Amino acid sequence: MSTSGARQRSLATHLQQVRALSRELASAISALERNDLPALQSSLALQENICSDLTAQAAAADISLGNLPNEIRDAHLELARLNGMYAALLRRSRRSAGLLTALYRYCSQGSSGDAPAVAKRQTWSCEV
């Protein structure tokens, strides 16, 4: 088996794994948007497996981003784009969860009688 043939197979496998990781990131984003915890957990487990495989393969085959064909570089760029979207979604989710937690605390204090007098007189309204 030639070194060139082995490298080509290694690069093809690497490309498949990067694309699979991109699909799993998109799946995780979709699961977060749907509040589908089982699908998110499944996607995270698959992402971990793919990342482990990519790490092992990169170490064994001496794959570095500097010497990859354009198709693989493009797949890495797409993965980076999805990763940025995923990170932004997680930041927004964390902020939303924090706001809901604060609202819950505020409401539970108000119903127990410990809230200040101003909060007890406050009403909620909505204009349409």
| pLDDT tens, residue by residue, 27-65 | 999 998 888 999 999 999 999 999 999 888 877 766 665
Q: Considering the entire predicted model, what is its pTM?
A: 0.68
* Domain chopping of the chain, boundaries: 3-112
| pLDDT tens, residue by residue, 90-124 | 888 888 888 888 888 888 876 555 545 555 556 66
pLDDT of residue 25: 94
pLDDT of residue 116: 53
Report d(CA 100, CA 94) in Å as an integer. 10
The answer to whether 64 touches 14, Cβ cutoff 8 Å, is no
pLDDT of residue 128: 45
Q: Write down the residue that tokens 């101003």 correspond to.
A: 118
